[in-house]
């Protein structure tokens, strides 16, 4: 296609790389270890769970002239062509010319933050990202930044201490700003104004357009292409299921799909916006929505994964769809030049089947601002609080007037083959006084809405009981606000 390049251009530390003839589904981790012989970055799980492969990606911050933005990602599930136009920083790049340790490495030594050391480079890179942002002292924020790094021998206390002891880059310092501007200028010069990437390799093709018009055109020409967003699902198809994907169409470089905008109070989220990008705006819609997003995977996963991917994958246990359905979110789908807007709940037809034609893609998600009197609650129930898959997720948008329920939307994940509304339960509540009696009727009605399955995560009986108890929790929180119903969970940390 016109105007598209075939070489992948990026900075590895401060060194320029222009790579041609690489299998497009080569992971960044394998490239680093096998091609660059930079073996500081480790492989633990190869599925985004352990953080041993954590690297930092730097990108030009288009909102502030001359600025860079940095994020941690799991190198094991990112493909090399997604590095185009970015700076890749690994633990090797922390080494000073005089051989002295970087402040975060020195802090790890001083606090005895490493034993076997396998997890250490990954932790160091997560700490380095904190350092790049100017340092952090708050325990909650440090926990959040490190929740995607697992350590099985040292224990987290010394590592958290190291985070505090590291200090931070002087982000307002003139020298640091000019260093970042220099990197931003080099990255801009490297990729120029071209139309993105088109790679043809014997093992597969890869397209990375830079506009949604071009994306639409490519998908019409290649309707069977695999759409790649953050790769937090797709990456595992390669590392765990050993699939060959051809062609891949990457949407992470499409500038107009990455926007998060508030219009008349509604939030419009481009399908390419990451969870981290959308977190602040979603937390402003409802505190529980922000907290739900904060608990998705880890910081590394949220820095790559998208809301669009969480919807498009059609999973019955994706965390955002039930919450967005309860809030009445709408989906914009596009094929070629034709767009259609549908209620999100209509997208999920049945297990494994969504209302998306070949060649069509999710362009954006519109989350309406809840009416002033509406209250929103969402709870994710999983075996572990952080980094775990949902057993049941209940989301509720309720409006009370004079002690009665004038409106309620209830949606669950983990209770059926798709994220789904509890319409019989809603009907048992709407128009009724919000009392113990209505609650009990509604609890029973849930059994008419769902026949949940038993799997390794939970039994059907457990799921039903949890769903009913979440309804009771909603009742208590909306009628007796003084009662303590949560150990944690209403704070919204944007990051
Ligand atoms: C360690 C780990 C922890 C996780 N934790 C959670 C969790 O707590 N909660 C949770 O819900 N999920 C979790 N996930 C799953 C995953 O992160 C999410 O489903 C994520 O939202 C997928 O988005 P993505 O951008 O990475 O999608 P990708 O992996 O790039 O794509 C996912 C699917 O969506 C399709 N797709 C992507 N974008 C579009 C589009 N715009 N139009 C049409 N199709 C599209 C792809 O073709 C693919 O089929 C976790 C995953 C990992 C690896
Ligand atoms: S190797 Fe475990 S997250 Fe990448
Ligand atoms: S030091 Fe051994 S896993 Fe962390």
102: its two tokens: 């970087």
pLDDT tens digits for range 200-229: 999 999 999 999 999 999 999 999 999 999
Please state the rounded mean pLDDT for residues 299-314. Answer: 97
Alpha-carbon span 311 to 407, nearest angstrom: 25
For residue 29, give the ligand nearest its CA: 2
Please state the rounded mean pLDDT for residues 242-251. Answer: 97
Alpha-carbon span 10 to 8, nearest angstrom: 7
36's CB contacts (< 8 A; 6+ apart) are 12
Beta strand extents in 144-264 (DSSP E only): 196-201, 204-209, 226-228, 248-250, 260-263
Residues touching ligand 1 (Cβ under 6 Å) are 47-49, 226-234, 236, 251, 271, 296-297, 301, 304-306, 308-310, 312-313, 318-319, 361-362
Alpha-carbon span 446 to 465, nearest angstrom: 10
Alpha-carbon span 229 to 118, nearest angstrom: 29
Does residue 489 surpass a pLDDT of 70?
Answer: no
Q: Dihedral of the CA atoms 126, 130, 132, 137 (nearest 10)?
A: -160
Does residue 289 surpass a pLDDT of 80?
Answer: yes
pLDDT tens digits for range 9-55: 999 999 999 999 999 999 999 999 999 999 999 999 999 999 999 99
Which of these, 123, 25, 121, lies nearest to 82 by C-alpha position?
25
Percent of the chain whose pLDDT exceeds 70: 98
For residue 79, give the ligand nearest its CA: 1
Tokens 């494994």, located at residue:
352
451 CA to centre of ligand 1 in angstroms = 26
Does residue 441 surpass a pLDDT of 70?
Answer: yes
pLDDT tens digits for range 142-178: 999 999 999 999 999 999 999 999 999 888 889 999 9
Please state the rounded mean pLDDT for residues 121-136. Answer: 97
Q: What is the pLDDT of residue 372?
A: 84
In this structure, is the dihedral angle defined by the CA atoms of residues 421, 423, 426 and 431, taken in order, positive or negative?
positive
Topology of domain 255-367 in CATH is 3.30.465
- Top-level class of domain 374-479: alpha beta
72 CA to centre of ligand 2 in angstroms = 12
Residue bearing the bigger pLDDT, 194 or 472: 472
Which of these, 194, 203, 335, lies nearest to 253 by C-alpha position?
194
167 CA to centre of ligand 2 in angstroms = 26
Report the residue count for the chain: 495
Q: What is the pLDDT of residue 394?
A: 98
**Domain coordinates in residue numbering, the chain:** 8-193, 255-367, 374-479
Q: What is the pLDDT of residue 493?
A: 36
Alpha-carbon span 209 to 251, nearest angstrom: 7
Are the beta carbons of 72 and 64 closer than 8 angstroms?
no
Q: Which CATH superfamily is domain 8-193 in?
A: Beta-grasp domain (3.10.20.30)
- Mean pLDDT (the chain, rounded): 95
pLDDT tens digits for range 394-408: 999 999 999 999 999
Whole-number CA gyration radius for the chain: 23
Please state the rounded mean pLDDT for residues 327-344. Answer: 98
Q: Work out the angle at residue 192's Cα, subtended by the Cα atoms of residues 190 and 193, and round it to the nearest 5 degrees.
A: 160
């Amino acid at each position: 296609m016109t105007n598209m390049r075939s070489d992948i251009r990026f900075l590895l530390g401060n060194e320029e790389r222009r790579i041609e003839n690489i299998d497009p589904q080569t992971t960044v981790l394998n490239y680093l270890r096998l091609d660059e012989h930079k073996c500081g970055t480790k492989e633990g799980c190869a599925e985004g769970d352990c953080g041993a492969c954590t690297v930092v990606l730097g990108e030009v911050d288009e909102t502030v002239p001359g600025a860079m933005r940095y994020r941690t990602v799991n190198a094991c599930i990112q493909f090399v062509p997604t590095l185009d136009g970015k700076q890749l920083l690994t633990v090797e790049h922390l080494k000073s010319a005089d051989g002295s340790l970087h402040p975060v490495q020195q802090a790890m030594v001083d606090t005895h933050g490493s034993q076997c050391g396998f997890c250490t480079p990954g932790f160091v890179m997560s700490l380095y990202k904190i350092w790049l942002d100017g340092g952090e002292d708050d325990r909650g924020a440090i926990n959040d930044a490190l929740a995607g790094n697992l350590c099985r021998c040292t224990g987290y206390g010394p590592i958290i201490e190291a985070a505090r002891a590291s200090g931070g880059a002087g982000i307002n310092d003139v020298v640091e700003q000019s260093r970042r501007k220099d990197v931003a200028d080099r990255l801009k010069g490297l990729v120029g104004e071209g139309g993105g990437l088109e790679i043809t390799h014997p093992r597969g093709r890869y397209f990375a357009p830079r506009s949604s018009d071009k994306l639409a055109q490519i998908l019409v020409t290649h309707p069977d292409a695999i759409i790649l967003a953050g790769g937090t699902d797709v990456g595992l198809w390669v590392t765990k299921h050993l699939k060959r994907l051809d062609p891949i169409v990457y949407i992470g470089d499409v500038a107009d799909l990455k926007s998060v905008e508030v219009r008349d109070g509604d939030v419009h989220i481009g399908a390419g916006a990451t969870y981290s990008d959308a977190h602040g705006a979603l937390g402003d819609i409802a505190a529980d929505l922000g907290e739900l997003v904060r608990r998705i995977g880890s910081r590394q996963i949220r820095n790559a994964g998208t809301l669009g991917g969480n919807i498009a994958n059609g999973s019955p246990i994706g965390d955002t769809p039930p919450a967005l359905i309860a809030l009445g979110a709408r989906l914009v789908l596009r094929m070629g030049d034709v767009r259609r807007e549908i209620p999100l709940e209509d997208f999920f037809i049945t297990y494994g089947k969504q209302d998306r034609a070949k060649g069509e893609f999710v362009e954006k998600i519109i989350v309406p601002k809840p009416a002033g009197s509406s209250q929103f609650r969402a709870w994710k129930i999983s075996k572990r609080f952080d980094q775990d898959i949902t057993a049941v997720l209940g989301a509720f948008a309720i409006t009370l007037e004079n002690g009665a329920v004038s409106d309620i939307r209830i949606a669950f994940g983990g209770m059926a083959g798709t994220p789904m509304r509890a319409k019989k339960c809603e009907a048992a509540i709407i128009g009724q006084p919000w009392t113990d009696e209505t609650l009990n009727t509604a609890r029973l009605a849930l059994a008419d809405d769902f026949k949940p399955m038993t799997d390794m995560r939970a039994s059907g009986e457990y799921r039903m009981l949890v769903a009913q108890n979440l309804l009771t929790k909603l009742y208590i929180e909306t009628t007796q606000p003084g009662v303590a119903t949560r150990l944690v969970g209403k704070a919204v940390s944007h990051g």
